[in-house]
């Protein structure tokens, strides 16, 4: 379509933030390299030029300090949008995130709100090894008191960012590096979609059916959605109709949409670039088996990152990552298709 | 900077109130915990960190603050909360875990939050510093008045959050004061065994900000130094680090046998109890009469007793309310 305005996730995030900053003086942005550089992953590009370096402030490399500060600013009535450059860096600042940001609303009996957005990059696939490639979705979603979202495309990226900034609660906004549209990280074309110019919200806690199907449900988030869509296209040629559910939000989790899809297809595959055990994939499966076991025609499957630190060597990392081929193989098994030798 | 007569009376009143609050808490805490001490029993379960002896720091600093200014405090927060003007009844009820508590019983004694007077505390060492810096940043960005004071203990000065936040506050010239209550002990570890330098105030030099050490647990000296630092912050000249020598007259927590203290230390500390000291000084140097001070004490005590009675009589929260207030 000629009137389509296609944006990358990075640009969509920056646009949503800029639009909120224009209408709400409480919104400000801070993090490492987010001002002049526009964010290592492009998601704050243009903000410092428009709003100046008071409202778009580079921080020292001091995550405990500035994330703790964001909590205090949020409690004092501001709406900080803060960047934790790589989610892997949560190791140096989780006290500020989990013991302060996520708990102060509860410990204050709801008297202190902490309306802040913590944006953080996730995901690997580009040989950055295990301190710069994790997803850690489950680690954040496990702990109560913070919402957790992750977009798979630019439309959702903008709407989720707008909703996150306006939310009175802390929101962990996890953006997958492979979807940012930064050439140097590879580009997932499916993430670059039409984005309306005017501000809009994508409701936090509502999943989206990314593709309708009859035979098997593939549930995922962020990059995994694209693996699922690729697999669904391959499966279609093989006579299997796959439905792809894009969760968009882990907290709250849209359990109804997952259950409804599995009620229709009777088969469930969860694709998770986070670690296999004790994580999102197990939670999704429990969501179905706890209440809707009878809907399942086959045992649910998960395609997740094995329980090992993420290796550097390309062949090793690629071996571990979820991909469309793994999903196709699982779907064929579940659907009782003959697997060629 | 000398406090006015009114302020002196206020300081004395709040010190007495804090001490009496803790005397009553101490007594009630032990109900149901004898002969066998089990922290989970009695009307006040859980850990209990008393602040008696450290009252001069709280009043010397908070005398300069308005309800609009921000305080973040520690796991030992009662004296600071009382000096900041936290609602006594609701605070007492929170410590008892009652429905009428500041947070409906969700927080307890280490998580006292009173939005009315911008007071928050938390249970992890040096944790309040970041939020204090952020609140100070908030005021700066909004062009609104207000300073943020973060109270910490001397043990917190070895935490990463201490150094990260001081750097942040200094590089952004935030209206923030960090007050280190040096009570000489991090639970059982003496300051000299844990800290590479004698005086944490010296660490201010590393961040290019003023640092002051105040010996003697002296409320008037604390008042003077804090007053200058707070005025400086209000003028937009940036943060100050203050370390105060103070005394923890109790153990780290109730139930602490304090075997780590050298013989005679406790007696020596009680001999320097800052409350009778201030009382003597108010009579000798500031023209207060004994009758006047008795009246102040009576008023403070009555208010505390009323708060404790309110807490005692308040209902427990509904158990299922545990599931509410996770999100706004």
Residue A169 has pLDDT above 80, yes or no: yes
Quick check: A111 and B102 CB within 8 A? yes
Q: Residues 58-97, chain A: which have Cβ within 8 Å of B?
A: 59-60, 62, 64-78, 80, 92, 95-96
Q: B163 phi and psi, to 5 degrees?
A: -75, -40
Report whether A300 contacts A283 (CB < 8 A).
Answer: no
Band of residue A246 on the pLDDT scale cut at 50, 70, 90: very high
Distances (CA, A) of B241 to B198, B199, B212, B245: 15, 11, 6, 13
Report whether B308 contacts B92 (CB < 8 A).
Answer: yes
Q: A83 phi and psi, to 5 degrees?
A: -110, 125
- Sequence-ordered list of residues with C-beta below 8 angstroms from that of A94, at least 6 positions apart, any chain: none
B213 flagged as catalytic: no
- Taking the Cβ of residue A139 and every Cβ of chain B, the question of whether any pair is shorter than 8 Å is answered with no
Closest approach of A183 to chain B, Cα-based (Å): 33
- Sequence-ordered list of residues with C-beta below 8 angstroms from that of B219, at least 6 positions apart, any chain: B11, B15, B55, B56, B59, B60, B274, B278
- Taking the Cβ of residue B158 and every Cβ of chain A, the question of whether any pair is shorter than 8 Å is answered with no
Quick check: A65 and B111 CB within 8 A? no
Quick check: A73 and B137 CB within 8 A? yes
Domain chopping of chain B, boundaries? 5-323
Residue B323 has pLDDT above 80, yes or no: yes
What beta strand segments (E) does B195-250 contain? 211-214, 240-245
Which pLDDT belongs to residue A252?
98
Residues of A in contact with B106 (CB under 8 A): 106-107, 109
pLDDT tens per residue across span A176-217: 999 998 888 888 999 999 999 999 999 999 999 999 999 999
Cis peptide before A252, with omega less than 30 degrees from 0?
yes
- Taking the Cβ of residue B104 and every Cβ of chain A, the question of whether any pair is shorter than 8 Å is answered with yes
Q: Which residue has the tokens 């996770």?
A: B326
pLDDT tens per residue across span B86-144: 999 999 999 999 999 999 999 999 999 999 999 999 999 999 999 999 999 999 999 99
Q: With left for phi above 0 and alpha for psi between -120 and 50, is residue B53 left, alpha or beta?
A: left
pLDDT tens per residue across span B33-73: 999 999 999 999 999 999 999 999 999 999 999 999 999 99
Domains of chain A: 6-194 (3.40.50.970), 208-334 (3.40.50.920)
B248 flagged as catalytic: yes
pLDDT tens per residue across span B261-298: 999 999 999 999 999 999 999 999 999 999 999 999 99
What crossing angle do the helices spanning B55-62 and B5-29 adopt, rounded to 10°?
A: 140
Task: Give the closest residue to A307 by CA, choosing from A188, A130, A107, A69.
Answer: A130
Quick check: A68 and B161 CB within 8 A? yes
Residues of B in contact with A94 (CB under 8 A): none
Facing residue for A105 by CB, picked from B122, B141, B326:
B326
Which pLDDT belongs to residue A165?
98
The two three-digit tokens of residue B173, written as one number: 């010239």
Residue B163 has pLDDT above 90, yes or no: yes
Q: A79 phi and psi, to 5 degrees?
A: -125, 75
Residue of B nearest to A66 (CA): B130
Which pLDDT belongs to residue B221?
98
Report whether A326 contacts A230 (CB < 8 A).
Answer: no
- Taking the Cβ of residue B131 and every Cβ of chain A, the question of whether any pair is shorter than 8 Å is answered with yes
Facing residue for B168 by CB, picked from A65, A100, A113:
A65
DSSP labels for A108-175? TTTSS----EEEEEE--SSS--TTS----HHHHHHSTT-EEE--SSHHHHHHHHHHHHH-SS-EEEEE
Quickly list H helices, chain A: 9-23, 47-55, 63-75, 94, 104-107, 137-142, 154-166, 223-237, 255-265, 280-292, 314-320, 324-334
What's domain B5-323's superfamily in CATH? Thiamin diphosphate (ThDP)-binding fold, Pyr/PP domains (3.40.50.970)
- Taking the Cβ of residue B45 and every Cβ of chain A, the question of whether any pair is shorter than 8 Å is answered with no
Distances (CA, A) of B98 to A40, A218, B75, B101: 48, 47, 19, 5
Test the B interface: residue of A31, A52, A58, A76 with most B CBs within 10 Å: A76
Quick check: A72 and B148 CB within 8 A? yes
Q: A324 phi and psi, to 5 degrees?
A: -65, -40
Residues of A in contact with B124 (CB under 8 A): 95, 99
- Taking the Cβ of residue A239 and every Cβ of chain B, the question of whether any pair is shorter than 8 Å is answered with no
Facing residue for B164 by CB, picked from A64, A71, A112:
A64
How does the average pLDDT of chain B come out, rounded? Answer: 97
Q: Which residues of A are catalytic?
A: 63, 132
Closest approach of A102 to chain B, Cα-based (Å): 8
Residues of A in contact with B111 (CB under 8 A): 107-108
Under 8 Å CB pairs connecting chains A and B tally to: 149
Closest approach of A332 to chain B, Cα-based (Å): 42
Quick check: B164 and A62 CB within 8 A? yes
pLDDT tens per residue across span B182-231: 999 999 999 999 999 999 999 999 999 999 999 999 999 999 999 999 99
Residue A244 has pLDDT above 70, yes or no: yes
Q: Which of B49, B109, B203, B248 is catalytic?
A: B248
Quick check: A65 and B161 CB within 8 A? yes
- Taking the Cβ of residue B265 and every Cβ of chain A, the question of whether any pair is shorter than 8 Å is answered with no
ipTM over 0.90: yes
CA atoms of B114 and B107, how far apart (whole Å): 12
Residues of A in contact with B137 (CB under 8 A): 69, 72-73, 78
């Amino acid at each position: 379509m000629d009137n389509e305005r296609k944006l990358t996730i990075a640009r969509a995030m920056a646009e949503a933030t800029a639009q909120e900053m224009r209408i709400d003086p409480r919104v400000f942005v801070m993090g490492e390299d987010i001002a002049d550089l526009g964010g290592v992953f492009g998601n704050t590009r243009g903000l410092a030029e428009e709003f100046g370096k008071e409202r778009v402030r580079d921080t020292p490399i001091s995550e405990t300090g500035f994330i703790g500060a964001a909590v205090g600013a949020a409690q004092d009535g501001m709406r900080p949008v803060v960047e934790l450059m790589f989610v892997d860096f949560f190791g140096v600042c989780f006290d500020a995130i989990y013991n302060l940001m996520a708990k102060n609303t509860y410990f204050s009996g709801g008297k202190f709100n902490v309306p802040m957005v913590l944006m953080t990059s996730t995901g690997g696939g580009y040989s950055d090894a295990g301190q710069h490639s994790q997803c850690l979705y489950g680690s954040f979603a496990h702990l109560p008191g913070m919402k957790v979202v992750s977009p798979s495309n630019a439309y959702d990226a903008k709407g989720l960012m707008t909703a996150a900034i306006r939310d009175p609660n802390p929101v962990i906004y996890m953006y997958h590096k492979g979807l940012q549209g930064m050439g140097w990280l590879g580009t997932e074309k499916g993430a670059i979609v039409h984005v309306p110019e005017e501000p809009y919200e994508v409701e936090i806690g509502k999943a989206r059916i990314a593709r309708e199907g009859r035979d098997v449900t593939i549930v995922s988030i962020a990059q995994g959605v694209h693996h699922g869509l690729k697999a669904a296209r391959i499966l279609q040629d093989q006579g299997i109709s796959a439905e792809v559910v894009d969760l968009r939000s882990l907290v709250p989790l849209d359990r109804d949409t997952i259950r409804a899809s599995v009620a229709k297809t009777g088969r469930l595959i969860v694709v998770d670039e986070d670690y296999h055990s004790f994580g999102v994939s197990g939670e999704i499966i429990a969501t179905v088996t706890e209440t809707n076991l009878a809907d399942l025609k086959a045992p649910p499957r998960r395609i997740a990152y094995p329980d090992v630190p993420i290796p550097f060597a390309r062949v090793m990392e690629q071996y571990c990552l979820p991909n469309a081929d793994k999903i196709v193989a699982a779907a064929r098994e579940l659907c009782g298709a003959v697997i060629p030798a | 900077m000398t406090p006015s007569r009114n302020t002196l009376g206020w300081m004395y009143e709040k010190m007495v109130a804090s001490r009496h609050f803790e005397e009553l808490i101490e007594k009630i805490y032990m109900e149901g915990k004898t002969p066998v001490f089990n922290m989970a029993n009695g009307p006040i379960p859980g850990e209990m960190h008393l602040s008696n002896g450290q009252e001069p720091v709280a009043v010397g600093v908070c005398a300069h603050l308005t309800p609009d200014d921000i305080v973040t405090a520690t796991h030992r927060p009662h004296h600071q909360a009382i000096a900041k003007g936290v609602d006594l009844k609701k605070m007492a009820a929170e410590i008892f875990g009652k429905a009428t508590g500041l947070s409906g019983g969700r927080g307890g004694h280490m998580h006292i939050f009173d939005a009315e007077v911008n007071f928050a505390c938390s249970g992890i060492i040096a944790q309040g510093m970041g939020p204090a810096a952020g609140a100070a940043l908030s005021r700066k960005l909004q062009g609104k008045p207000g300073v943020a004071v973060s109270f910490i203990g001397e043990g917190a000065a070895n935490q990463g959050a201490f150094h990260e936040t001081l750097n942040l506050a200094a590089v952004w010239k935030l209206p923030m004061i960090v007050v280190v209550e040096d009570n000489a002990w991090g639970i059982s570890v003496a300051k000299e065994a844990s800290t590479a330098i004698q005086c944490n105030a010296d660490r201010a030099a590393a961040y290019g900000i003023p640092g002051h050490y105040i010996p003697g647990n002296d409320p008037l000296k604390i008042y003077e130094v804090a007053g200058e630092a707070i005025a400086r912050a209000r003028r937009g000249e940036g943060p100050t680090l203050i370390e105060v020598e103070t005394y923890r007259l109790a153990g780290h927590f109730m139930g602490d046998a304090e075997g780590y203290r050298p013989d005679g230390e406790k007696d020596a500390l009680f001999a320097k109890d800052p409350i009778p000291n201030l009382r003597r000084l108010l009579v000798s140097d500031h023209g207060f009469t004994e009758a006047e001070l008795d009246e102040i004490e009576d008023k403070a005590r009555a208010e505390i007793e009323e708060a404790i009675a309110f807490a005692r009589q308040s209902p427990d929260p509904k158990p299922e309310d545990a599931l509410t207030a996770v999100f706004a």
